[in-house]
Structure 1
Amino acid sequence: MIYPPDFKEKSILFINSGDLNENKIKFGNDNIVFLKDGKIDNRVSCHKVFAVFIVGEISITSVLIKKCLNYGISLFLLDRDFKVYGSFGAKAEGNYLLRMKQYSFDKDLVFAKQIVKNKVFNQLRLLRKRKILPKEEYYISKKAIFAKIDVAKDNQELLGLEGSRQKDFYGLYFKDLGWYKRMPRTKVDEYNLLLDMGYTFLFNYCDSLLRLYGFDTYKGFYHKLFFQRKSLSCDIMEPFRCIIDHCLLKSFQLKQIDKKDFKIIKGRYFLDFQKNQKYAEIFLQAIGDCKEEIFKFIYGFYRAILKDSALLPVFKI
């Protein structure tokens, strides 16, 4: 178990294996050690790391895996398209009391409505901050959307409301980007590709925290059971998607996104492997800036399940 004061000092590491000629990472003296040309290039204390994302081919020692698990560090292995193909995560599977509560949970729709409200709330806040929504219209929209969510009869109706609202949000918020539409994993343009990347990091970050408490991340309350889908992690990340959305727009405004970094193969956009780290660091920094808020939300969710509470925490961007 980890608590807020301890988590404050934790960080996320991103490793692009293309930067290391011999592609080796090992453990030494309570440190994660990076090797370049057979020599130690850098090291970081295991006490200060929560998750490590590794992109590309790399050699990892069994000692490193064992020590990472002992220190509560999650390792994620990603291919060059940022799809996770393997992970070693710190978890508390023995927390049977929590899982009994989770499996017998009977407030699925109640929690689902709160999650969707929190997501919509943050989308409206982003639009308000950009002055796309005037103050009066912001409150009118919030009241109207929340009223529709309150009377939703089931998850399918809720999913429809969320999808409609999200489509409108993307069109308004990303207007300056020449936004087409959101198409996950299709790589139809640079911005969809970057959103996929950011959401992947966010999803795995939330999943790591949930497993740290002992949750079965395949059992959700909004996204229902589906083969090999971590439905609970999908649920919990929803209020935090705004972090990635805001980060993408901010990067565009700061001219950090260079279209020359991308290449098109058979109509699909790909990020040049040497540029992976540039964009990964942008998104991981954004997640890191909100890490305490994300942790507190998931800790609050953990407490709500144990106490059989009907109220979830609220995240505000």
Structure 2
Amino acid sequence: MLSLPDFQEKQLLFVQAEWGKPSSLRIYNDNIVFEKEKKVINRVSLQRVFAVFICGDLSLTTSFLRKTKEHGVSVFLLKHNFEMYADLSAAAEGHYLLREKQYSLSPEHQLSMARPLIVNKVENQMALLKLKKNIKKNRDLCQKIEGWKREATTADSLESLLGLEGTISRYYFSEQFRDMKWRRRAPRTREDITNLLMDMGYTFLFHLVDAILRLHGFDTYKGFYHQLFFQRKSLACDLVEPFRCIIDKQIVKSHNLGQIKETDFIFKNGSFEFAPAKRAEYATIFMQCLMDRKEEIFTYIQGFYRHVMDPSKHAFPYYQFG
């Protein structure tokens, strides 16, 4: 199992392939080498990489596939809209004791974990709102959210918890992205630039969380808050919740810094997409903000692992965003 000191040295790698320019990834002297039109564009030590995100079409050598698996490097293959269509993830598949405990969680225990998970998410959302300029309006909104949060701490079912989370998120999003012409959260529709950016940032966050969970030995299809659904990695869906604030804050920060420009996007067939030359630029923004918080994410998941293994000794983890 990967330790925190080892993880601290790791980084995320994003590779953008260009249409019409044959590209490849291969291993040379334990370095990942990116070539375009048979010219070396960049290289990085295999020892320092935790995950590789590949956007577009390129060639992967068999040595690349073998070495990444041997070194526990997860590889994610993405379409140009950043939807993942395949992954080659490193995993500790043989941790049967952990999975036995994971599969045998009672409904009561699952609910007892879901409550602090959502309360944690809500408290991080409130922390972001308190940073906004409109202090009085946000104070009133936070008081309203505080009431719903108290209800979440005593929710008697996952369904009621889902309802409270949805209500809180609607109010939170409308204020958090107020200066960005916010209408609504519409996942995967890309109906506006903000939703497109959220989809991108949440995608990277989701796969990072999923990769860390799998290295600990979890079956990421078996969640405790999001229940079983065909081909949905419910556990990864669960544990991204406290960390969504990282992406939300970065989007607002990039907007305030003028990094988000309408000319960087194309409106086509009823939805927005990135201009081809700008995909890597925005991917770098989100990857850097996740790299800045990677140790916190790893420590949280490590705490979750310990809780599942021995809930009497280890409390459910908490992520304090600040």
TM-score of the two chains, using structure 1 as the length reference: 0.96
1:170 pairs with 2:176: no
- Report the secondary structure of 1:54's partner residue: strand
The answer to whether structure 1 residue 240 and structure 2 residue 243 are counterparts is yes
CA distance in 2, matches of 1:172, 1:120: 14
Residue 287 of structure 1 is matched in structure 2 by 290
Which residue matches 2:269?
A: 266
Check the 8 A contact 1:171/1:179 in 2, yes or no.
Answer: yes
Corresponding residue for residue 128 of structure 2: 126
Query: How do 1:117-196 and structure 2 match up within 5 A?
Result: 117-133=119-135, 140-141=143-144, 143-196=146-199
- 1:20 deviates by 8.9
- Structure 2: how far apart are the matches of 1:136 and 1:255? 27
| Whole-angstrom CA distance in 1 between matches of 2:139 and 2:195 | 31
Is the contact made by 1:121 and 1:142 (CA closer than 8 Å) also made in structure 2? no
**In structure 2, how many angstroms separate the alpha carbons of the residues matched to 1:211 and 1:233?**
9
Distance 2:31 2:261 in 1: 35
Tell me how far apart the structure 2 counterparts of residues 209 and 151 of structure 1 sit (CA, whole Å).
30
Q: Map Cα deviations across residues 170-219 of structure 1 (whole Å, 9 max, x no partner).
A: 00111111111110011110110110011011000100000001100000
Once the two structures are superposed, residues 103-159 of structure 1 have per-residue CA deviations (whole angstroms, 9 ceiling, x without a partner) of: 111210011111100100100000112244559758745642332012211111100
Q: Per the alignment, in what secondary structure is the counterpart of residue 57 of structure 2?
A: coil
Distance 1:138 1:8, change over 3 A: farther
CA contact (8 A) 1:15 1:53 kept: yes
Distance 1:91 1:7 in 2: 15
Taking the TM superposition and a 5 Å limit, the aligned residue runs for 1:183-262 are 183-262=186-265
Partner of 1:300: 303
Structure 1, unpaired ranges of 5+: none
Rounded Cα–Cα distance in structure 1 between residues aligned with 2:92 and 2:18: 33
Residues 68 and 74 of structure 1 are in contact (CA less than 8 Å); yes or no, is this contact kept in structure 2? yes
Q: Which structure 2 residue ranges, 5 or more long, are not aligned? A: none
Structure 1 residue identity aligned to 2:256 = Q
Q: Are the equivalent residues in 1 in contact too, given 2:56–2:80 (CA < 8 A)?
A: yes
TM-score (norm 2): 0.94
Q: Does 1:71 align with 2:91?
A: no
| 1:186–1:268 Cα contact (<8 Å) kept | yes
In the alignment, structure 1 residue 315 sits paired with structure 2 residue 319: yes
1:73 to partner: Cα distance: 0.5
Separation (CA, whole Å) in 1 of partners of 2:317 and 2:210: 17
Match of 1:109 in 2: 111
C-alpha distance in structure 2 between counterparts of 1:139 and 1:269, whole Å:
32
Aligned residues: 317
2:88 is aligned to: 88
CA contact (8 A) 2:121 2:243 kept: yes
Give distance in 1, aligned partners of 2:75 and 2:176. Answer: 33
Counterpart amino acid of residue 315 in structure 1: Y
Instruction: Report SS of the residue matched to 1:68.
Output: helix
Counterpart position of 2:61: 61
Distance 1:299 1:132 in 2: 37
Taking the aligned partners of 1:131 and 1:118, their CA distance within structure 2 comes to 23
- Report which stretch shifted further, 270-279 or 211-220: 270-279
Deviation of residue 311 (structure 1)?
2.6
SS of the counterpart of 1:67? helix
Alignment partners' CA distance in 1, 2:280 and 2:139 = 41
Is this contact kept in 2: 1:20–1:36, CA < 8 A? Answer: no
